[in-house]
Structure 1
Amino acid sequence: MELRLLGPVEVVADGKVSQLGRRQERLLLAVLGLSANQLIPAVRLIELLWPDEIPAQPHRTLQVYVSRLRKALPAEAGITGRDQGYRLDIDPASIDVDRFRELRRAAVGQEAAERSRLLGQALELWRGPALSDVASDELRHRLCAGLEEERLTALEERIHADLEAGRSAELVPELTGLLAVHPTREGLLAAQLVALYRVGRRLDALELVAAAKRTLRAETGLEPGPRLQELEVAILQDDPALLTDRPGAVPRQLPPAPRTFVGRQSQIDALTELLTARAKGSAGSVVVVSAISGMAGVGKSALAVEVAHRVADLFPDGQLFLDLRGYGAEKPMAPIDALGIALRGLGVAGTEIPADPSEAAARCRSILAERRVLLVLDNVAGSAAVDGLLPGLGASAAIVTSRSALPGLDAAQLQLDVLTAAEAAELLEQFAGPARMAAEPQAAAALLNACGHLPLAIRILGARLASRPAWPISHLVERVTDVHSRLDQLSLEGMSIRTVFASSLEHLERSSDPVDRRAAEAFLRLGVPDGAHLRLLEAARVLGMDETTAETVLERLVDAQLLETPSPGSYRLHDLLWAFAREQAEAALTTTDWAGVIERLVELYAAVAWHCLEGRDPTAARLEWAAGRRKSGEVPENLQGEQGLDWLDAAGAKLTALCLQGRHCGETTREGVLSLALGLSSYNFSRECWPDALRRATVALEIARQSCDELAEGLLLSDLGIYRAYSGDVEGAVEAYQEAIPLLARCQAARAELAALNNYSQILHGLGRHTEGLDHGLRGIRLAEHQGEVTAGAHLVVSLHYQALDDRDRQRQHLESALQSSRSIGNQWKEAYILDELAVLAYRDNQLAEAVERFRAAIAVYGELSQEHDRAGSVGQLGEVLLDLGRPDEAVPALETGLREAIRAGDEAREDELRQRLSEAQAAAEGEPAGHDR
């Protein structure tokens, strides 16, 4: 069987072309074939099949297409579907794309004639533009731009092989036709210049150079690259090296320097210093460029090529460039093949290259030891791939780029991170132009944030903007902020973030090491929770592993540059890697697997939250709900008490996101969301995180109602009353309590009902609805007395209403009752507050001696609690009483203490009042008229 994609899409079985049905079905097969044996998310297939208008039931239509293809395909191929994605299972050798690439690989290191033959066979597989009968030009550009570039590169390789084999005369007419189609392709231009010169057409060659310059300037605004410039000089000087590919020729293999390179100055300086020292024979043998984040697209190759061009003069015997294909669709280059390319570049004839890798490596080192050559070894998978290529003695040097740090090399390690904000903006400006950047600075910043300052992503987005000058930057921002379409936007002309990330993941999946394969599976699960940052304990729950095993797997992902570790025990996915992990998880994980990740995380957070609640509030009413309902998960010792609250702080928005995700999962997970939202009450109060508390409680309330859990509903409504009140939605708080109180009464949840009555009464006090507020407050007192509960809170709330109604006797009566209740349970916080209130009340009634006694009692309790600010406030009030008692000497220091507290608190009115009173006290202490008539 053959699957042909390089031209019209065809399946050939037993020498006959199979009938595949409609164009859309053939397009689906082509998309699956381009990523054969890989799972493709259904959402991506739908977007590719129907870019303009999606059918009413796209998933159903997709299933129909798959069903028809399964019937039409021979037994050697099959389509498997897993939940939200599909995969074409097929022998890669059956696909013309793979055979094309395999023939290119086979040509490497061969003699010129054999290389030309193999590359010719590869090019014969092309029957026209890829997917020519099923894809629009735009879609073909999205899917096959990289393939078209591979075809043109293979064509250039075959032409150069023919040049080397002495076929210049045959090439001139062929190249003339090719340049009519690709007038700015420098590889073809260079070949034609050499061919023309070799057949004696020197003047035509120079005219071609001049025409090429004009075309390049007109179409790109750029000058020809170094290779064309060198060839022009060589032709003008009749350099004899043009007449033959002679052994010993100086290799100039560096790709063109990046035209949009920005930043990296410190790394450039470090590399230049090391390479300069190496060229002078005073440094180690290798400089390794690797990314600190480890991710593809961070600009390792661009930095290496940029530096190589800057130091090329230090290596007059040439520069070699080898892509070792460590990551990507093609198989990694075998060491002997890499050595063959290097030796040929160094002038060794193919017949003289040893077949044994060790002998070839020794030959390579011997040549390099006698010359000053710079090797750029790009896209290296591991140390073993470059061992035989590295210079030993002498002044040659190598720059090695890899997605791993290559600790096995004795090398200077240079780690590379994403661009800074300023560098990212500079790079985008080179594409979008300064005017567009200045017109939409916020949109530009949002666009750069969406791609995480990753250079490859910025280049792709910049190229899209450059090709759409009428687009505002904000238009592109809208397209990349949606996580489901972000990676689709980051694909253009053979550059694809999804593809480079997939190559890193596939490297693990293909590994023979079981830890690597387990790490690949773990990567998918890291995409399930919203949020890219996880601590070790959280990650272990996500992966369903113990912490020791999880750490081993996570560190392997760090080594594979798919995960970052900002600090020990902390892990982070780059935003784009998280989007890729989410996409892969949606396609590959079952519903059960997905829900399991959320459930385990919910259980962890809920266990910590409840432990903090129980430790801080042993009388919490929600314990009535928790008994027998929630799972009792273990909480590590370092996450108990205040440390647990700090740990929840670090979770931040993940707590809310988890509740939102959990509501769409199964019953067990939804019950866990209920437990989490209820257990976070103490945390919410201690951290005053009202907006997030509101969102979590609202989600949990929806679950409680759907589950007909009246007690949970009542508790959550009571919580919502508080959260809404503190958020400024007082009317919403009233509505919540009006629903909560009868529900809690019906559930006979006395503690919860009492708390709701007290809080509701306090809100009514703030609204000036004192009659209604008194009714609920007194009801709370009766309920507390009947249940034998603490009445302090209820008495305090009632005292506030009587204060507002100016009924001082009843206010004092309820304050005294609250004081007695607080002391009975040892609640010093309330005791100090109530003593303060009783002192103020006595002062207002001109009972100055009692006021002094009460204030001093409050001050003493505040001192025991180390509440210095509250204590200082009470001391200031005591000073006023002492002044009115005619004891100015005692009043002065007390008023000074109160004044300092007012200044600290920024209470200007109180500050002015205390300054006046202090002035009076100081005057009275000095025997002057007090100047104050109370």
Structure 2
Amino acid sequence: MNTFPSVTGKSRILLDALLEGPKSMAELGELLDTQYVATYVLRLRKALGEPGLVHTTFTGYRLELPPRPAPVFQLPAPVGGFVGRADEISWLSAGLPGTVLISGPPGIGKTALATSVGHEVRSRFPGGQLYVNLRGYSPEPPLSPSVVLSRFLRSLGVERVPDDLAGEFRKLLRDSRILVVLDNAASVEQVTPLLPLDPTCGVLITSRSSLALDAAEVRLGTLHPDEAESLLGSLGSGAPIQRLAEWCGYYPLALRIAAGNLVDRPDVAASVDDLLASDRMALAVDDDAEVRRTFDLSFAALSPADASLFGLLGAVPGQDFSLDGAAALAGGPVSLDRLVSANLVQQAGARYSMHDLLREYALERAGDVSVARQRLFSWYLTHAQTVSAALYPEAAVLPPTGLPSVDAALTWINAERSNVLAAAEDCARNGPAAWSWQLVDAVGGFFGAQANGVEYLSAASLALAAARSVGDRAAEALMVVRIASAYRNRGELRRALDMFDGVPLDCGDPWVPSMRGTLQLELGDLAAARESFNAVLALGDLPQVRISGLYGLSTLAVLAGDFTGAAEMLRSGVSLARAHDLANLEATCLTFLALCHAEWAEHAHAISLLRRALELRGERGTPHLRTGVLTYLAVVLSQAGHVDEARSTVTEALDALPSLGGATRIESMVHHAHGVVLDALGLESRAAYSLALELAVAASSPYDEMRARLGLGDLSGAWTLAARHGYFIRIPGTASREQ
């Protein structure tokens, strides 16, 4: 069988070699003219449409079909006491795998039916289920496809979200037999990018509207009277129950809420008679009148404290909340038991949520919730800042005392991450504006380290617009730095630098010249970078600010060949970082200090410094930075003659590449280190340096381009870059300097 028939020529030779067996190796020296192997690899990756299929190993390449993601099971638990809908369940189940749509008015039971069908067909989808409430008709803005895809990819184990979200999602779901449940969809445009387009997968969509999709559709109506009475079975039977079912319009949501409020009444029949004799039936005239009547019934049965709490919960901006979050909203300890038993709040473990209709109703009943919102947002902000101080002390705004453990901090931020960003977006739209950028800033370190930038960039962009709308230049500068940092982590250096257009160096925020200087340095504008880093040192005496300035100037010194001057600044940076427990900054300074000692042929000391930097990087969960340290360690180990350890170290860096998701400059560094280690082993290295060169050019990183050209023996090209940018250049094979 001719797999991938579109691949021809010498790329075909490469592909056939890779297809010989499961994960078979293609040794560089035995395959093709090695001078052009990297070109064939790049062409093959392009022809396959999925660059990650051809994986670089230490001595060659390996074809790796995308691993099936570990099963995920996000489908909510089945609704208790679900009744009826047998025909609909049978019809929908028959359409899966495939795409099916459940449409109908609010409160008709679309989500409950979708959940029941999902569990009914669970055995057909061993890959699991992905579930999302798209908030198509929520008081909050609908979720964008990019945010949903980012969450799905994270659930599927993608550590760094790529630019092509839909493409990566569909690649992962190929032959995966996963069920995707898209609940509460607003439009075709919201849904289309979320479709797997794979015949082994199923898609189950719910919406109030009939969407123009290539999908089988069930338009859901009310329950049959017998089914409605069965749902009210806990109240008894007979004429009163029949009248109550009719009063609820046979709507499942209305029936459940009515049952929750009448189940404890000593005389259900009398309670039903009282209800039907009241004037509540005249309260609503819209399409969901019956549902809203039961809301009125439930609300009237609540104690004043529970009624007040219920109203406030409508102001929660995220999809769910914790008991502590509810307490913050209310301003004191609360119990949600009564609201859960009345079916006004749903509980899933330690998290709680509300139906969109109930959220709207709660807000109508709540009155002014501005004070409660500020209490909740203050709780989010305080906890987010505390977590940030524990995980990333160099960016902390709180004193380093009384902080949670790293594990506890990660547990909180992983549970509340989306809610913090939802709160930031809510504040950007509805005020107070200052909360928006403060919340975004508080979680900036976490999202930067984890490289899940789509949701973060959305919230940060809204916060930036809010800062500009009120003319707060300090907040504008803060958000520019955060957004630029996110773009830098994605490998978009020039786009990141463009964020600083119109932001002066002397704006008062030292992180503006710090980030701008870092980008200028990486793009090869050393004179501008020096001006920026000098501005950093002039803007304050905070230890993290001084370390940032010292590190920037020391890096410039290293690039210019002044290793003695660089080492002096780096030692000062290490001392400051250790004195103030700034682990990430200590690791950064140790890494470049090690390069100075390696230049002086003090390899044992350099290796010791790099190993300590590696430990610090691992403690703080920064995979892209840790991979960078691995590349330096592999090079120094090679220089010291520890070739076996160098080989295992660079192999670890190569294995980390799929998780970096587009950090092209770091990828270039890894392939350059790979070439250095291959040289030390006397093996063919041209392909590794060629890949390093391609990636350096793509990243607009002239220093990495210069190093790759040196590895390839292109001395003329390397000298040209060195002269243009002012880089110190060492010809391979020449002796290191003495200190």
TM-score by length of 1: 0.40
Larger CA Rg, structure 1 vs 2: 1
Higher relative contact order, structure no. (Cα contacts within 8 Å, ≥ 6 residues apart) = 2
